[in-house]
Amino acid sequence: MAPPTETNAGQLPGARFIDPNILGRIGNLELVARWVVEGFISGLHRSPHLGFSTDFAEYRPYVPGDDIRHIDWRVYARTERYYLKEFEADTNTNFIVLMDTSASMGYKHERLSKLEYAKYLAACLTYFSHRQRDRVGFVSFNDDIQDLVPPSARHLQQVLHAIDRAKPEGKGALARPLSRIAEHQRRKGMYLLLSDLYEPVDAVVSALGALRDAGHDVMVMQILDSAERTFPFEDATTFRDVETGLRVPVIPGKLRKEYLAAMAAHTEAMGRRLGEHRVDYALVDTSQPLDQMLFEYLVRRERMRTVR
């Protein structure tokens, strides 16, 4: 495998970002996540570990050489045997990725589809969170839940596998799957929604309301292909909605201005309305480097912790 090339995106001074198209050649999600995250962390100047506590894991018999300071003397008092108390890694919170796998997420204008980008993003952030001792979970959905991995500190592999096998299909609708998730997930956690959000803003806000009302932290990343944002089409042709199959004759040159205005209004309204409901919102272009999104995530997580 040829060494990946890196690009200076320019948005964040000093950061070196990796072209998503390069990641598309790697294929192995865990490898991508490990590579992106470790590279990203090595560039940080402070520890990314943000844990607050330690959890007991198990006892094990003492063997010569062990630090006697870790011997649990209360157990010795009961059993007259030396046992060492071992602790699980520091655990912060539940981190659950909600990934839209409707057919529209399968769209790609060039090399990387929105779903593929979302997969890399989900894998990287899951790996990143796991590295921070968070419990990681995953839910894929279109108009209903398709796949679910409950949050756990040991579910990294399951999550990565679930991400990997997600396929774009069906119509997308947020309300039903998000309400079901809110019903079943009692423990507070952080939810990251990856979707193209092709729904009216009110419907999105309403759907996310269920999670927000349950006390979860929610962050939304609206993933769009650059073609959806710039509408670069030239030839007059018929557009087909990949979810509904609806066909509409379009002359792009004539429609472009109107389309871009509608799309800008939609994303602007989405950011504003979600902000009003204390939902973090970020617009992601599939041409953006992944590690840049890690920065976005880190900044927002810091902000959430501060606010909390």
Catalog residues that contact another protein under the rule CB under 8 A. Answer: 104-105, 107, 114, 196, 198, 225, 228, 233-244, 246-251, 253-255, 258-259, 262-263, 266
Q: Beta strand pairing status for 145-152 and 135-141?
A: antiparallel
As a whole number of angstroms, the distance between CA 273 and CA 267 comes to 10
C-beta of residue 208 within 8 angstroms of C-beta of residue 279: yes
Report which secondary-structure segment, H or E, holds 223.
Answer: strand 217-224
Nearest-CA neighbor of 182 among 208, 150, 161, 200? 208
CB closer to another protein, 256 vs 277: 256
According to DSSP, residue 4 is labeled: P
- Considering the complex, what minimum distance in angstroms separates the CB of residue 266 from another protein? 7
φ and ψ at residue 75, rounded to 5 degrees: -65, -40
Nearer to another protein, 163 or 224 (CB): 224
Smallest separation (angstroms) from another protein to the CB of 189: 29
CB of 171 to another protein, least distance (A): 10
Closer to another protein by CB, 253 or 275: give it.
253
Write down the least CB distance from residue 201 to another protein, Å: 11
The nearest distance, CB 195 to another protein, in angstroms, is 11
Name the phi and psi angles at 161, rounded to 5: -65, -40
Q: Closest Cα to residue 297, out of 113, 59, 132, 88?
A: 132
Of 131, 125, 166, the closest CA to residue 292 belongs to 125
Q: Which is nearer to another protein, 174 or 294 (CB)?
A: 174
Structure token digits, residue 36? 């992106």
**Helices 114-131 and 29-42, axial angle in degrees (round to 10):** 60
Beta carbon nearer to another protein, 108 or 277: 108
Q: Which residue has the tokens 């921070």?
A: 132
| CB 115 to another protein: min, Å | 11
- Shortest gap between Cβ of 267 and another protein (angstroms)? 11
Q: Which is nearer to another protein, 127 or 198 (CB)?
A: 198
Taking the complex as a whole, how short is the minimal distance between the CB of residue 23 and another protein, in angstroms? 21
Whose Cβ is closer to another protein: residue 213's or residue 258's?
A: 258
Q: Do 91 and 135 meet the contact criterion of CB atoms below 8 Å apart?
A: yes
Closest CB to another protein among 171 and 176? 171
C-alpha separations of 103 from 168, 231, 236, 263 in Å: 5, 19, 24, 19
